[in-house]
Amino acid sequence: MSTGAPTSQKTALEFKSTSLTVPVLLLASNDISLIDQQLKEKVVQAPEFFKNSPLLIDLQKLNAQNLPIDFTEIVAIVRQHGFMPIGLRGGNEQQNGDALAMNLPQHSLHGSNVPLVNKAPAKTLPTPAPEEQKQASQSIENKLVTQPIRSGQRVYAKGDLIVTATVSAGAEIMAEGNIHIYGSLRGRALAGVLGNVNSRIFCSDLQAELISIAGIYQLSDDLSKHPAHKPVQISLDNQTLIIKDI
């Protein structure tokens, strides 16, 4: 390690700190088959949502009740269901050791009253975490659909979704970002499905069955006062959907 690097050399890297929102799996039972079954049920409800999702595994509840569990087994199950575990928190010495052996870092419990048995956060390997976090946060893929979306079809976009044709009654379109529809919208449109409250829906003819932004929705009954055949944009303001002419 040479400390006296020439000053003219360009900086190739930089350490920064960032905070991310990551789903946490808080286990309340050490029954492996029960966990497996309930995970499966959850994933079936929203397969796209959970696919390749980063996941932090939290064992503090189990350890508080002294319920033993094999961390490697949990990681295997979680991976089977399509999650990407990015670490452990609230684990005991054995579990933390298992995590390190699998190159999974430990995370500290902020403001938790469960005592950390192994006080060695400085020892954790910092490399895997930023790498995987970056992958998870940078996967914006916009989607363009030029064919009519027919009744019974579902379209999902990881970024923005742009439809240049009609969305029929009984069809469902979802996007993690914004939705733009240049035909008539007669089906269901759900923008910001991962909770992005700043996403919007733009459409040239609003006759939708349902519109939703970040889980806040309105049905066609509530929409009927808005005239069809008029371009509108829908945004979310303080938990209320606002429909405005463009």
Partner 1 sequence: MARIIVVTSGKGGVGKTTTSAAIAMGLAKRGHKTAVIDFDVGLRNLDLIMGCERRVVYDLVNVINNEATLNQALIRDKRCDQLFILPASQTRDKDALTTEGVGKILEELSKDFKYIVCDSPAGIERGATLAMYFADDAFVVTNPEVSSVRDSDRMLGILSSKSRRAENGEEPIKEYLLLSRYSPDRVKLGEMLSVDDVQEILSLHLLGVIPESKSVLNASNSGTPVILDEQSDAGQAYADIVARYLGETKPHRFIEEEKKGLLSKLFGSK
Q: Does 227 bind partner 1 (CB under 8 A)?
A: no
Q: Does 155 bind partner 1 (CB under 8 A)?
A: no
| Least distance from partner 1 to the Cβ atom of residue 239, Å | 33
Pick the binder of partner 1 from 94, 153, 218, 220 (CB under 8 A).
153
| Residue range at the interface with partner 1 (CB under 8 A); choices 74-82, 113-121, 143-151, 220-228 | 143-151
| Residue range at the interface with partner 1 (CB under 8 A); choices 15-23, 58-66, 98-106, 161-169 | 161-169
Binding mask 183-202 for partner 1 (x = CB under 8 A): xx-x----------------
- Binding to partner 1 in span 9-68, by CB under 8 A: none
Task: Give dist(CA 57, CA 91) in Å, integer.
Answer: 9
| Residue range at the interface with partner 1 (CB under 8 A); choices 65-73, 129-137, 156-164, 178-186 | 178-186
Q: Does 150 bind partner 1 (CB under 8 A)?
A: yes
How long, in residues, is the chain?
246
| Least distance from partner 1 to the Cβ atom of residue 166, Å | 6
| Residue range at the interface with partner 1 (CB under 8 A); choices 13-21, 100-108, 151-159, 213-221 | 151-159
Contacting residues toward partner 1, per CB under 8 A: 147-153, 165-166, 168-171, 183-184, 186
